[in-house]
Structure 1
Amino acid sequence: MDLASPCHCIALRQASRRLTQHYDQHLAPTGLRTSQYGMLRSLGRVGPISINTFAEIMVMDRTTMGRALRPLTRDGLVAVGPGPDGRTRSLTLTAAGRRRMEDALPLWEQAQQTFEERYGAVPASDLRQAALSLARTELSPAA
């Protein structure tokens, strides 16, 4: 079956789903999905941080961020508290979140290694750089 599409978005979404499935399989023993692990890692690097700012960093809209945070807060991995001005909410990685992230790290490293072995280390690095560049590119219709 040919997966080729002339649409950049569809092709990237297909690739993203394939890669996410790979990482999810590796992270399954931790109970974390790839998206959750990524949020914990990112929050560990930048937190405490406002929900809106974190959503911007993660290239997510505020509503999607709220839904994504629910299982992490429910499981005590992320704490949501008052922000500095009283109007905003602030996210903090909890000790349990840090432990879960550390437990997942070797599995994530294995997923990275397996991906690089199968796809190639240089193409994987090039792909990551292209994806980061795309994530930083303003594509709104008004731009």
Structure 2
Amino acid sequence: MTTTQFSILGALDGGSSLTMMELARAMVMDRTTLVRVLGPLLRNGFVASEPDWRVNRRLQFALTGSGRVKLNEAMVHWRAAQDEFERKFGPEQAAFLRCELFRVTRDVSNT
């Protein structure tokens, strides 16, 4: 699983399904890239697509049970990486770097 796929599973973990546009906006990526990254998640059964009953020809994407299991497995590795990041940079520097990363991501998504 790639970091982007992990992030997609995390974005879908809220319990509600998202349209392609909503998911692309949440992931700060264009639709073409999102389709390419979603492919393996759909094939492996971690994400399900279903028609949006409100708008014809629009899909909703949702995390499946096996997707939740995979996300939980990957979360163990993510936490270990976060702990190592904290140890290497210290809590204050790590918090600063995270804030900067979120700021850059927010600024990019607003352009």
Same fold (TM over 0.5): yes
Q: Percent identity?
A: 34
RMSD: 1.5
49 and 64 in structure 1: CA distance in 2 versus 1, 3 angstrom threshold? same
Q: 1:54 aligns with which of 12, 19, 23?
A: 23
Identify which of structures 1 and 2 has the higher relative contact order when contacts are C-alpha pairs closer than 8 Å and 6+ apart: 2
Q: 1:103 aligns with which of 73, 79, 93?
A: 73
SS of the aligned residue for 1:137 comes to: helix
Q: State how 1:14-93 maps to structure 2 within 5 Å.
A: 32-45=1-14, 47-83=16-52, 84-93=54-63
Match for 1:127: what amino acid?
Answer: L
Q: Following the alignment from structure 2 to structure 1, what is the Cα–Cα distance between the partners of residues 91 and 12?
A: 27
1:127 is matched with: 97
Alignment of 1:115 onto 2:92: no
Match for 1:35: what amino acid?
Answer: T
Bigger Cα displacement from structure 2, 91-100 vs 36-45:
36-45
Distance apart, 1:88 and its partner CA: 1.1
What runs of 5+ residues in structure 1 fail to find an aligned partner? 1-31
Distance apart, 1:80 and its partner CA: 1.2
Q: Give runs of ≥4 in structure 1 deviating > 4 Å.
A: none
The structure having more radius of gyration, on CA atoms, is 1
82 and 136 in structure 1: CA distance in 2 versus 1, 3 angstrom threshold? same
TM, length-normalised to structure 2: 0.89
What runs of 5+ residues in structure 2 fail to find an aligned partner? none
Distance apart, 1:46 and its partner CA: 6.3
Distance apart, 1:103 and its partner CA: 1.5
The count of corresponding residues between Structure 1 and Structure 2 is: 109
